[in-house]
Amino acid sequence: MTPFSWEAGLLPLGVTMALGGTALYKFKKSQCKTLSSPVVLCHSTLLCLWGAYCFSSLSLFWGWTLFSLACCISLAYSTSQEMLPVDGRAVLITGGDSGIGHALSKYLDELGFTVFVGVLNEKGPGAEALKKSCSKRISVFQMDITNPAQIKEVQARIAEKVQHTGLWAVINNAGILGTVGDGELLHMNIYKQCMDVNFFGAVEVTKAFLPLLRKSKGRFINMSSMAGAVPMKQLAAYCSSKAALTMFSGVMRLELKKWGIKVAVIHPAGFRTNIQGTKEMWVEKEKDILENMSPEVLEAYGRDYLRASSWPFLHSFKQSSTDLSPLFTDVLHGILCKNPSALYTAGLFSYLSMCLISYFPVSVFDYVCNKIFHSNTLPKALT
């Protein structure tokens, strides 16, 4: 290379180095609160390797052009992923008595959020634990999401508290598993109960708090489930209600965009909580199903089928992960990211299941599901 051409190449090389360094810095800064160090390191390494390839294998012009393009894309992405400061932002979480809602309330309180928690029993142990263990920024309200009067009352109280700071996010977390069993065995009250809590309750809360979020241009985070996108045997009522919540979230995301409100839906994998209930609750639900089963259905399935098929499934919940950090990371990203994702798949199995149902033939999905949830138990009429 002649001195003239080398000096002429110093400017684009210098600009490229500055652009690449800025891209790496912006990405690392924007992701430090939401992604692990290995992910940030992987992105940085890929960008560096791409730069090395461009300048070692291509001409100076094309190497500079392609690497600069990669840096610009990285900058645009990292800018959209920048995290807003907490600054005491106010959030509402439903279903804070126990499980994910309870743990999430503590987590957000520790980060400095002003947390409003709706609970089914304001005097219950879960509510009392939050009051004792959390800071003074947390407020616990009696709010059964199937009770419109309670929702309206809590909305008025929160509106009074946040009239100067505004309500930034609503996390529709409250939900129930319902009863586990073949869809034909579940009487309609079980389906209605799941829909009332998992779907209609979330819709009621969303409609009630929309005026507050319209002022703040905040966001809704709806806690659906992997079962809201992936059919799972013995969870007909639960899957149907969560699928309705997932679709509702998508429609609201489109409709509320004009108001500056963002909507995200989270599909957690099978984290271990107390949503499945206790052994005593299983016995009561089993008794209720048998008492409401028609003679024809009872004759076809037999009395022993329900327990033999559903109890192993319920016991499998005990093998689920107790580490909720992947879920918390996604929720925090949905709350604070300038441009949150429309869908989060918290937990590896949730993402793999989405890929399986989306990109593979139904026969492949059915085969895998039958292998995972295989049972040697058959209804009486088939034995």
pLDDT over 90 (residue 351): no
Most confident of 18-22, 167-171, 283-287: 167-171
Q: Is residue 383 part of a domain?
A: no
Same domain, 209 and 245: yes
Range(s) of the domain holding residue 39: 3-80
- CB-CB contact of 203 with 254 (8 Å): no
CA distance 379 to 299: 9
Q: Is residue 260 part of a domain?
A: yes
Same domain, 155 and 29: no
Same domain, 139 and 196: yes
- If one counts the domains in the chain, the total is 2
Q: Which of 35, 59, 80 is the last residue of a domain?
A: 80
Q: Is residue 261 part of a domain?
A: yes
Among 25, 77, 191, 238, the active-site one is 238
Cα end-to-end distance, the chain, whole Å: 83
**Amino acid identity for residue 356 in this structure:** L
CA distance 233 to 250: 25
Range with lowest mean pLDDT among 290-294, 295-299, 310-314: 310-314
Range with lowest mean pLDDT among 22-31, 270-279, 291-300, 302-311: 22-31
**Nearest by Cα to 94 from 270, 235, 285, 245:** 245
Q: Which of 80, 107, 137 is the last residue of a domain?
A: 80
Q: Which of 21, 46, 80 is the last residue of a domain?
A: 80
Q: Is residue 9 part of a domain?
A: yes
Give pTM, 2 decimals: 0.80
Q: Is 238 a catalytic residue?
A: yes
Same domain, 54 and 101: no
Q: Is residue 377 part of a domain?
A: no
Q: Is residue 70 part of a domain?
A: yes
CATH number at residue 263: 3.40.50.720
Query: Please, which residues have CB within 8 angstroms of residue 348's CB and are 6 or more apart in sequence?
Result: 269
Q: Is residue 188 part of a domain?
A: yes
Positive or negative CA dihedral for 256, 215, 87, 170?
Answer: negative
Q: Is residue 326 part of a domain?
A: yes
Considering the chain, what is the average pLDDT of its residues? 84
Q: Which tops the pLDDT comparison, 295 or 310?
A: 295
CA distance 90 to 111: 12
Q: Percent of the chain beyond pLDDT 90?
A: 50
Same domain, 188 and 229: yes
Same domain, 66 and 141: no
SS3 of the chain: the string is CCHHHHHHHHHHHHHHHHHHHHHHHHHHHHHCCCCCHHHHHHHHHHHHHHHHHHHHHCCHHHHHHHHHHHHHHHHHHHHHCCECCCCCCEEEEECCCCHHHHHHHHHHHHCCCEEEEEECCCCCHHHHHHHHHCCCCCEEEECCCCCHHHHHHHHHHHHHHCCCCCEEEEEECCCCCCCCECCCCCCHHHHHHHHHHHHHHHHHHHHHHHHHHHHHCCEEEEECCHHHCCCCCCEHHHHHHHHHHHHHHHHHHHHHHHHCCEEEEECCCCCCCCCCCCHHHHHHHHHHHHHHCCHHHHHHHCHHHHHHHHHHHHHHHHHCCCCCHHHHHHHHHHHHECCCCCEECCCHHHHHHHHHHHHCCHHHHHHHHHHHCCCCCCCHHHC
Same domain, 16 and 149: no
Same domain, 45 and 144: no
Same domain, 173 and 308: yes
Q: What is the structure's pLDDT at 36? A: 41
pLDDT in tens, 32-60: 444 444 445 555 666 676 667 676 777 76
